[in-house]
Amino acid sequence: MTEQTASAAGDPAAEAAVAFSDVRVAFDTAGGSLPVLDGIDIDVADGEFVALVGPSGCGKSTLLNLVAGTVRGQQGQTSFRGRPVVGLNRDVSYMTQKDALLPWRTVLQNAALPLEIAGRSKRERHEAAVGVLDRVGLSAFLQYKPHQISGGMRSRLALAQALLSQASVLLMDEPFAALDALLRVRMQQLLADLREERGLTVLYVTHDLTEAIALADRIVVFSNRPASVREIRTVDIPRPRDVAATRALPVFNELYADLWGLLSKELDQAALPEKRPAT
């Protein structure tokens, strides 16, 4: 299952929706230069779902920021559909850890925003937004403002917004972390279904290995910061998937144990200095 290159098949450069080539990123901080990404090489094929897992703070969100064009590396290249990302990338939909809902707009108006920006008619916007809000379970809250709904509802609204954008590439940073277990599985299923329907490419950061296995075609495991690609695993579960049912598959347990072992090793290494006996 291990792959040395991150391309799914064939010529990666020709197929890649997103490509990181020897990307290095360091941030200037009060304490000096903080190396975050260390020579990242990953190709994400068009229509592929790639989950990014790794220790907290290793640089996963930074990787999404490179694709969104809000961060630039000091070395290497991040490409989007064959072209280097040099400024804000408006061809992706980015669901960040903190939602960007407009407080003065209703749930319906927030959801429809991407369609408004795309110049769709009022009627078209309304119909599409109502349909997706229904699928995320918010149809009873169309006229509410963001501060009037719960954290979990806000993240479902942010998901609706992302799904209503016409972008074919979704960047998702722990999008379902605020949801309870049952709702999380339902939203994962919705994402999996829409991904099949629309052939979406998804780059998905998560700390939840269950979620990574249930949704992804491949899972990239990162090292501690500065992050390098530790391993890439292919998820050999046929699609379309019934998200909840994936957990009962033998391959699920095997992969979970494998990923858990890889991540535990990283955490152990990060903890090494504290493990040394006091002298």
Ligand X SMILES: Nc1ncnc2c1ncn2[C@@H]1O[C@H](COP(=O)(O)OP(=O)(O)OP(=O)(O)O)[C@@H](O)[C@H]1O
Binding site for ligand X (CB under 6 A): 27, 29, 34, 36, 56-62, 225
Handedness of CA 100, 103, 107, 113 (dihedral sign): negative
Do the beta carbons of residue 180 and residue 150 sit within 8 Å? no
Please tell me the distance from the alpha carbon of residue 33 to that of residue 245, in angstroms, as a whole number. Answer: 45
Nearer to ligand X, 62 or 246 (CB): 62
Would the CA dihedral through 126, 128, 132, 135 be positive or negative?
Answer: positive
In this complex, which beta carbon is closest to ligand X, that of residue 6 or of residue 128?
6
Between 54 and 146, CB nearer to ligand X: 54
CB 64 → ligand X: shortest distance, Å? Answer: 8
- Give least dist CB 67 to ligand X, A: 12
Residue closer to ligand X, measured from CB, 29 or 279:
29
Question: Cα separation of 59 and 36, whole Å?
Answer: 6
Tell me how far, at minimum, the Cβ of 72 lies from ligand X, in Å: 11
Closest to ligand X by CB, 56 vs 150, is 56
Tell me how far, at minimum, the Cβ of 45 lies from ligand X, in Å: 23
Beta carbon of residue 135, minimum distance to ligand X (angstroms, whole number): 27
CA distances from 168 to 41, 44, 142, 188 (A): 22, 13, 26, 18
Q: From the CA atom positions of the chain, what is the Rg in Å?
A: 19
